[in-house]
Each structure stands twice: as C-alpha cells, then as structure tokens.
Structure 1
Amino acid sequence: MATTIAAGEGRPGELFGHPRGLAILFLTEMWERFSFYGMRALLVLYLTQHFLFGDEEAQGLYAAYASLVYLAPVLGGLVADRWLGSRKAVTIGALLLVAGHFGMAFEGAGSKQYVDFGGRSYEVAADGRGADRALALIAPGGARLPIVSSGESIGITGGAAAGLPDRVATADYKFRTVQDPLYVQILFFSLSLIIVGVGFLKANISTIVGALYAKDDPRRDGAFTIFYMGINVGSLLSTILCGWLAVKYGWSYGFGLAGFGMLLGLLTFLWGQKYLMGHAEPPAPAALARKVAGPLNLEWLIYVGGFILLMPAWFLVQRDDIVTEALTIGAPLIFLGMIVWSVVALKGVERSRMIVALVLTIFSVLFWTLFEQAGSSLTLYADRNTDLTVAGGFGINAAQTQFFNPAFIVLFAPIFAGLWTWLGRRGLEPSTPVKFGLGLVQVGLGFLVLVVGITHFAGADFRVPLVWLTLAYLLHTTGEICLSPVGLSMITKLSVPRVVGLMMGVWFMSSALAHTLAGLIAKATSGATVGGVVVDPGAQLATYADIFSKIGWVGVAIGVVILALSPWLKRGMHMEAAEADHALAGERAIGEAAAIGAPASRNGVDRETL
C-alpha cells in the first residue's frame, strides 16, 4: 500500500520536504559567512585606524587579500574533486578559518604615530574608533592636547599653556608611524590562514548541496535558494553585530565574534555528518590512503601542501603590487589566448558561443570592479564623509553600512525572480546580454547617485546624509541581481563541453582580476591621514566626487554599449542548441561552479556577494 505524505511533511528522514543535510549545510554556511563578512566589514577600518596603514597601502592590501580569496577555491575545488572529497576539504578549511579569524583578534597595542617639530618628537594619540575618532598630542608631562590637521598646518588646542605653539606650519613638522612587527605579521599570517581556508571550504560546501539531490530532482533549485538565504542571513547579522562590537568595545571583540561564528559553523558541520548520506566522501579512499612520501599517505601530503601554501599566501597578501601585476598582465593574456583558440580551433555555433561567453566574462570584470568598492573606498567614504545618523539620534557605524547589500538581496531577490518568471511566461524576459547591460548601468548609476549627494547635500562638516549611500547600495544590489544569477550559468551553457572546467576557472580568475582593479580605483580615492583620521575632509570629499563620477559614467556607458550589442550577442549564443548540447556538462559544471559559494537560481548558478 502506498504511503501518502501530506504537503509540508516531507519524505521520511527529511525536513520540510528537503534532506536534513540541507539544514546542516545551511547553518554551516550561515556561520561561515557570518565570520567572513564580519571580518571583511572591519578590515580596511582596522588597517587604517589600528595599524595606521595609509589609505593607499590599506586598500591595496585589501585588494590583494580579496583577489587571493577568489583564486584559492579553484585549486581547493580541484583537490577535493579528485582526491580529498568535500567533507575532509570543508573540515580542514573550517579549521584554518577558525584559526585565521581568532588570529585577527590578537591586535596588540596597535601602531603609534609621532609628529616631529622644533627638534622634538611627540606622540599623537587617536581616541575612539570609527567616525568619532579624535586626535590628541601627548605633551611633556602627559597632558593630551586635541589637535586638528588641515594639511597646511596643525592646530594644537592649549599648546601655549603647555609650552608648545598653537599652530605649526606644514613645512615645519613631519608625521611618522611606528608599527609593532610582531602583531603586523600576526595580521598577515591570519589573512593567509583565511585565504587557504576559503580555498578548501568554499570550493566544496556548495557541491555537497547539489550532491544531496538527483540531477532531475525538481527540489534542486529550491535547495540552492534556501542555501543562498543562509549566506545572506549570515552576512547581514555579522556586519551589524561585528561592526557594533568592534567600534564600541574594541577590534578584538568584533574579530573574536567572527571567529566564534566560524567555530559554530565547524561544530555544526561535524555534528551533522550523518545527515550528508555519504555524499561528501573521497572519490577514491584507497588512493587517498596510499603512501606516497615516506610515512605520509596522499591525504596527509595534501594537508602538508595546504600548510605550505600559507607561505606564498602570507607573502603575496602583503605585496599587492605583485598580485596586481600578475593579474593585470596574466588575465588579459589568458582572455586573448582563449579568444584566439576559439577562433582557430572551433567552428560554427561552438565558436560563436565561446566568443560570446568570453566577451560577457570580460564585461563582468568591469561590473565587479565597481561593485567591490564596498569593502574599501565605500567603507572609508562612509566613515569619513557620511552622516551615519539614521533617525532620532540613532546611528550606525561605517562597518555596519555593508549590511545594506545583503538586506536588499533578501528583500528584492524574490521580487526579481518572480518578475523574470512572469516576463518569461510572456516571452519578454530579458536575454543574458541585456541583464549584463542592466547590471552595469545600475552599478554606474549607484556611484552617480553618490555624486549627487556629495555635490548638493554635503553639510558644513563635509558629511553627506546616509540616504545617498543607501540609494547607491540599492542600485548596486539590483544590478547584482540582474547580472549575478546568469554569470556562471552562462559559462556552463555556452562553453564547449571539453573546456567547461577551464572556462569556469577563467570566470573565477575574472573575479580575482576585478578585485585587483577595484583596489587600483580605491587607491585613487586615498587621502592623507593622521592616526587614521583624514587630514582634510573637504579635499577628501572632492576626491570621492571626482573618482565616483568617472567610474559611474564609465559603468553607465559600458552598460549602454552592451545593451546596444545585445541583439548580436543573443544571436551568437544559440541558446536552444546550447541548452540541449550542454545539459550533461552543465549539470557537472554547476556542481563545480557552486564551489565558490554561488547558489543556483532558475537560470543556473548565482555568484554570491563576497
């Protein structure tokens, strides 16, 4: 006799109609993203206000770190897919991430800054964190005298009473920074732990989600949507909580909370192994156990290799110039090589599809270059030139402004999904090239909105109302929703089956390149600082207006170009044939592509907001 299951009950051993393993992976990913985004929201502020890196150096370091984070999962996914298996890879990745996030909490006393004038050296103390940070000169005898630097001179409140001048001209003083080498190296090593940990973990946890379902299971896309909500819930909570703790009580509290989030994710994953139904095990356990180097079997050799990779990651994260040069030279050469190969080695429909895929991938680099200002220049803009008051005297800090993106995704992604479905039923859904164009136009408009706020609504203190930054993030998010869901899906559908894995590597490399280019733009917004406080807020605001205007118009212009080219690009995609020819390869690729943490939508696989 057949068993009837009521709606909502799910099958035996399932929860709300999905395998229980999905709940384990949802919670693991939620806590992992909680830790990752909590740290990300604080990083540039931490570098400039605690270690007193200059703007250019701090934003270059952030760019190198973000680029390496996107490159690492390509190698981690390969290792897990061929030898280690997803469970072991996620576990070792989570352990490295726990160590890295807790390492960030070892902040030390921070760097010290001194001002030299009149033949003597005086320490400059910076009190507070975030936008309320204030500078004071430590006078002989220990008195703290508030100072204000304008770029042309520094004013010393109460200087005369302490035997010091009330104002010192620029030509007569010099600032210098003294960093504690031990804690700076702990910072760099912690970042390298996170980079390698992300490589092991992010390349594999999403793959397990796909493995819980048969390829033709209609619940598959819904599962990735649920999983995606875990990503955004984690990032939403972390940017609010970690940002609040760090600014109010100390950086170590914010980073420490991020570390505990990752620890909870690891414990959840280990506890829930029985619900993964063996889908995350190594593909060839016997080969993994084979001795390959003295007493080391292949599994331990992989672990040793992962720890060895910490050294180049540690070196590269503090040498953004090397990362920038490698990606800005290497990535275009790879793009050019793939285009030449497509023209020479392919014919007809295959050639056309590949060229379209490569063209759209190149355009996506510009989108993410602009979008990824969030973790660097937009965070510093929020800290220095935004009135962060929300209402009734209640305000947020600069780190917490990064919650706008996940909040808007939670609000608007279902609306856009419904809109595409509604339009699709009427044959009106925009093509992939049109969505790319719309995404670029919107991210460009987001920066132009900021320019409007800066130009017409900045106060006497050179701060712009928070609503303009909110509107910018809204446009960036709606642009992301247009472009992101179709990116990896496009790669799986348009690539020649024998190179689909390589093409996904090219797609992830394009994200790394975008972060590097984003770092170059962020550096262009840099201003002079003392103790992490911008010297001339008016000049800094003018710099933001100039750079944001330029990149905003570039984004809109390139978006319009894509829209104009979209009929040709759409014809070149040959989507009906592409979907038929690539069904099998696409399923395989989606499992691998989801490795970056990008959940599937009805169009394929989304790229998450890292």
Structure 2
Amino acid sequence: MSPTTDVAPGARPDYPQMLGHPRPLWMLFMTEFWERFAFYGMRWALTLYIVAEFFGGDPSGQAYASRTYGAYLALVYAAAVFGGYVADKVIGYQRSILVGAVVMAVGLFMIMWPSEPVFLLGLATVIVGNGLFKPNISSMVGQLYLQGDPRRDRGFTLFYMGINGGALVAPLLTGWMAAHFTDTPMQQNYKLVFLASGIGMLVSLAWFLVGRRQLKGVGRPAPDQASRARVAWVLVGCVLAAPLVYLLMAKAGAIFLQWLLTVMFVGLSLMLLVEGIREGRVQRDRVIAMLLIFAFNVLFWMFYEQAGSSFNFLAQNIVDRRMFGGWEFPVGWFQSVAPLAIVLLAPLVSIAWGLLDRRNAEPSIPRKFGLGLLFNALAFTVLMYALSSLVDAGGLIPFWPLVLVYVLQTVGELCLSPIGLSMVTKLAPVRMVGFAMGGWFLSTGIGNNLSGIFAGHVSGETGMTVASALSGFTFSFWLLVIPGALLFLVAPLINRLMHGVR
C-alpha cells in the first residue's frame, strides 16, 4: 500500500461486503460514474463545436479540431503522472481526488464561453483537474483488496462499469439536448452540453465528499502530509499549471507535444526502473514487464480514440443516419454504443475470467492485451468493407457498420483496459503505485495524441472523404493486427518477468 494512508502496509480495514466486494467499491463506482458523465458528456461534442464555432462549419476545420482533440486527451492522461505523484508524495489520494474534482468543474463551466482562448484555457483547466482525479481514484480501488486477492481483477472490471455507465448516459442525454434545441445555432446547443457536464462534475464531488468516510482511513495523507497548507499549495500549482497546459495545446502543436510526451514517458520509465532495482530483482523484472505492456497500450488507444475525431466526422458526413419516419440518429448517440456494450458485457467478461481462473485456463495479462489489439483490428476490417463495398449513390455507408465497429472495439477494450488498471496495482513498486498509474495513463495519452495526428491526416485540408477514410482505416488495421499477433508470441517471456503475478 502507498505510504499516503494511515492504515498499516499490508493490512486492510475490515470492510463490510456488498455483492462479494468491499462496500467502498460501490461508493468509488458512483463517484467515477458522475465524473465520467461529466467527461464524456462534452467529449463527443468537442470537435464538432470547434468546427461550428471557430470555423463557421467549414470542413477545413476538421483537421485542426482533430489535432486539438488529440492533444486535449493526451494531456488529460499525461497530467495523471503528476496527479499520481501529488497523491503519493504530497497530499494523499483522498485530498487529490477532491481538489481534482473542484478544478475540473471550474474548467467545464469555462468552456461555455464563446472565445477560443477561453475555451482552450477551460480545456487546460479540465486537464489539470483530471490529472489529480483520474489516476488516484483508480489506485484507491486496488487499495481495497489485499495483494493476491483473486477478486481484484473482477473488482476493477465492475469499477469499469461505473466508468462506462457514466459514458453511456452522458452522450444520450447531452446528444438529445444538442439535437432537441433546433431553433438555435448548433454551437449554442453544444454550450448546453458543456453546462450539463459541469453539473455532473459537481455531483461527483459531492458523492465522494460524503462517502469517503467509508474508506476508513485508506487514502488519507500520511502524518507528515496532513497539513492543509499542502492542499493550498497544490491549488496554487493548479492555477499556475493551467496556462502552461494552454500553451502546449494552443501554441506548441501536436508534433512538439508528441516529443514532449515521449520524453516524459522515458523519464517516468527510468524512475520506475530505479525504484524496481532498489527493491530487488523480482520487482525490477515486474517493472520491465509493466513498461513493455505500456508500449502496446499506446497502439490500442491511438486507434480506439478515433471515436471522438475521425469517427465523429465519418458519422456526421459519410454515414446514412436516416431512421424511420424521417428521424435522424444524433451524431452524439454513437458515443453511447461502446459504453452500452461495456455495461452489458462487463459482468459476463468478469464471470468468464472467474470461471476460467477456477479451471487454470484464464489468459495471462499479455494475452488479454493481445486480444484487445486484435479485436480493435477486426473493427477496422468492418470499416474497410463498408467503405469499399457499401457506399451508395449519395456517397454514404449504412448505419450498422459504424455501430458494429464500436461494439468490436468495446470487446477489445474489456480485454485490455480494466486489466491494465489492475496490472499496475500488482506490478508497480509499492511506494510508487500512484506514479505508476500515472504512467499507465501517460501511455494512453501518447496514443491519444497520435490519434489526433492520425485523424488530421484522414481528414486532410478539405475534410474527410470516402477515399481518405478507406486509406486511413486500412493503415489502422495493419498497425493493430501485426503487434497484436506479436504480443501473443512474446507473452511467455513477459509472464516470466512478472514472477507469478496473474
């Protein structure tokens, strides 16, 4: 356990159980539900809003919007490195989550202002707050279980349902809001979307503030970190950090940001390796295994996160969304397909892993990651088929291929993402779990920035076409299927480095 708690290392409070898991899991579940409601409620609208508000709806703005979106997501996850460090070394997990929730809420309300600099500064504020919130609530889930507890992976899968419950409800509600208020310009409707997201973040803050006593001390600051002055200094740091993040998004550009994130990842990896070496050969090998899996994680998210950029423009311009009675399926609702599939499939996946475990047949962590990459690749084969064989006279593809893409990517996500969260809590050096969780999110962030760069190429200077989409998504397939197969081949080597961790 991290030293930022007043519970003895290796011990856990005697939590009441609920549905086979510690009761605080469900409090963290709902806190994350509302934070994800806030995050995903506005995420789907970002690229569409940028084109509508700052480019007057001109398709030439798609590439800029995609790169901005990718940089935003990348910095959201990169900020988790610093958030994990703040929790480990400065103010503890609980206080980091509370401060992060407050800062995120402020940023979400800021992006309603119809000015590009204020909009980008609001996104930067969301990034800083999310960096404090996201890695630390995930780390706290791991702290509810003793090392070696077989329920830990299943607990993370259930927690992942909370993430995706919020991600499911938010686009349905905010997508309906954007489509319903038809007598106003679309960019005004998107501002209602941002307002709903800010309110959701306030609900998340209240939920954790009231429910954190259930944790019985887990995640509280260590005695030498208990001063409230430390919290004040962290808030000052947030105020200073937001303009710096703004400059990275608005001025530096996606390529510079990619180099910066790569340097950060190398530095983080070296720090984790040094700590692993200090703890001995077994911990060193486990850190190496964790970092290898982080590298494959980059590729998964590079193409999964087309959902908020190139897939959005695909849905808006190349998918036939006409339904019965002339009703048109809202673009934002596509973003609810993946979380709906996760909510439906996550319990089944959790049960399946449990049944396979009892038969000593559960896939290893590396092979679960390989499955994630291969299902993601399979999703792109659907798009390749649709864009080459199903385009109608109006230049549109049917509705169902894009829906199926989201479902297949979801299966891959369930094989990879919740397992990755659990993996970090099992493989990271005991004194740097929060920092290592930040590394997990940094690898996701690198993938997200690459996703924006890639989506910008798919759209080009004049907007997405059927030909540019087909070319780009064919490239996506090959860059997923080859590493996925490779990961299956090297899985035994990685398993040996993990020294019995499953």
Using the size of structure 2 for normalisation, the TM-score is 0.84
Tell me, what secondary structure is at the counterpart of 1:574? helix
Q: Distance in 2 between matches of 1:398 and 1:468?
A: 14
Tell me, what secondary structure is at the counterpart of 1:387? coil
User: Do structure 1's residue 570 and structure 2's residue 478 form an aligned pair?
Assistant: no
User: Do structure 1's residue 477 and structure 2's residue 410 form an aligned pair?
Assistant: yes
Kept in 2, the 8 Å contact 1:70–1:509? The answer is yes
What's the offset of the Cα at 1:406? Answer: 0.6
Q: In the alignment, which residue of structure 1 is the partner of 2:486?
A: 561
Tell me, what secondary structure is at the counterpart of 1:462? coil
User: Do structure 1's residue 251 and structure 2's residue 258 form an aligned pair?
Assistant: no
**Higher share in strand:** 1
Kept in 1, the 8 Å contact 2:275–2:429? The answer is no
Q: Distance in 2 between matches of 1:343 and 1:25?
A: 29
Q: Distance in 2 between matches of 1:342 and 1:91?
A: 28
User: Do structure 1's residue 46 and structure 2's residue 49 form an aligned pair?
Assistant: yes
Residue identity matched to 1:550: F
Residue identity matched to 1:106: W
Kept in 1, the 8 Å contact 2:81–2:435? The answer is no
Q: In the alignment, which residue of structure 2 is the partner of 1:541?
A: 466
Of 399, 402, 425, 1:466 maps to 399
Q: Distance in 2 between matches of 1:346 and 1:227?
A: 30
Q: In the alignment, which residue of structure 2 is the partner of 1:419?
A: 352
Of the structure 1 ranges 330-339 and 398-407, higher mean CA displacement relative to structure 2 is found in 330-339
What's the offset of the Cα at 1:67? Answer: 0.9
Alignment of 1:390-539 (within 5 A): 390-391=323-324, 393-491=326-424, 493=426, 504-528=437-461
Q: In the alignment, which residue of structure 1 is the partner of 2:5?
A: none
What's the offset of the Cα at 1:275? Answer: 3.9
Q: In the alignment, which residue of structure 1 is the partner of 2:123?
A: 191
Q: Distance in 2 between matches of 1:24 and 1:332?
A: 32
Q: When the two structures are aligned, how many residues end up with a matched partner?
A: 477
Q: Distance in 2 between matches of 1:343 and 1:16?
A: 36
Q: In the alignment, which residue of structure 2 is the partner of 1:232?
A: 164
Pair 482,16 (structure 1): closer, same or farther in 2 beyond 3 Å: closer
Pair 503,88 (structure 1): closer, same or farther in 2 beyond 3 Å: closer
Kept in 2, the 8 Å contact 1:457–1:464? The answer is yes
Q: In the alignment, which residue of structure 1 is the partner of 2:66?
A: 59
Tell me, what secondary structure is at the counterpart of 2:459? coil
Q: Distance in 1 between matches of 2:397 and 2:255?
A: 36
Q: Distance in 1 between matches of 2:208 and 2:214?
A: 10
Kept in 1, the 8 Å contact 2:161–2:342? The answer is no
Identity of aligned residues (%): 37
Residue identity matched to 1:315: L
Deviations 1:152-191 (A, max 9, x none): xxxxxxxxxxxxxxxxxxxxxxxxxxxxxxx112201110
Q: In the alignment, which residue of structure 2 is the partner of 1:171?
A: none
Deviations 1:528-586 (A, max 9, x none): 55xxxx5xxxx7111001100111122112222323x23xx31452278343xxxxxxx
Pair 523,441 (structure 1): closer, same or farther in 2 beyond 3 Å: same
Residue identity matched to 1:406: P
Q: Distance in 2 between matches of 1:283 and 1:341?
A: 23
Residue identity matched to 2:205: L
Pair 381,351 (structure 1): closer, same or farther in 2 beyond 3 Å: same
Q: Distance in 2 between matches of 1:543 and 1:68?
A: 27
Pair 560,101 (structure 1): closer, same or farther in 2 beyond 3 Å: same
Of the structure 1 ranges 271-280 and 240-249, higher mean CA displacement relative to structure 2 is found in 271-280
Kept in 2, the 8 Å contact 1:353–1:573? The answer is no
Pair 317,414 (structure 1): closer, same or farther in 2 beyond 3 Å: same
Q: Distance in 1 between matches of 2:243 and 2:397?
A: 43
Q: In the alignment, which residue of structure 2 is the partner of 1:203?
A: 135
Q: In the alignment, which residue of structure 2 is the partner of 1:269?
A: 208
Q: In the alignment, which residue of structure 1 is the partner of 2:3?
A: none
Kept in 1, the 8 Å contact 2:302–2:447? The answer is yes
Residue identity matched to 2:75: L
Alignment of 1:136-155 (within 5 A): none
Pair 44,359 (structure 1): closer, same or farther in 2 beyond 3 Å: same
Kept in 2, the 8 Å contact 1:327–1:513? The answer is no
**Higher share in helix:** 2
Pair 460,67 (structure 1): closer, same or farther in 2 beyond 3 Å: same
Task: Tell me how large the CA RMSD over aligned residues is.
Answer: 3.4
Q: In the alignment, which residue of structure 2 is the partner of 1:260?
A: 199
Of 232, 242, 251, 1:310 maps to 242
Kept in 2, the 8 Å contact 1:33–1:234? The answer is yes
Q: In the alignment, which residue of structure 2 is the partner of 1:73?
A: 80
Q: Distance in 2 between matches of 1:374 and 1:35?
A: 17
Pair 197,412 (structure 1): closer, same or farther in 2 beyond 3 Å: same
Q: Distance in 1 between matches of 2:237 and 2:367?
A: 43
Q: Unaligned regions of 5+ residues in structure 2, if any?
A: 1-13, 182-188
Alignment of 1:353-364 (within 5 A): 354-364=287-297
Residue identity matched to 2:50: L
Using the size of structure 1 for normalisation, the TM-score is 0.70
Residue identity matched to 1:261: G
Deviations 1:418-441 (A, max 9, x none): 333333344433333332222212
What's the offset of the Cα at 1:91? Answer: 2.2
Q: In the alignment, which residue of structure 1 is the partner of 2:300?
A: 367
Kept in 1, the 8 Å contact 2:276–2:283? The answer is no
Deviations 1:481-535 (A, max 9, x none): 2222333444555567687766544433221211111112111111455xxxx5x
Residue identity matched to 1:266: L
Kept in 2, the 8 Å contact 1:100–1:192? The answer is yes
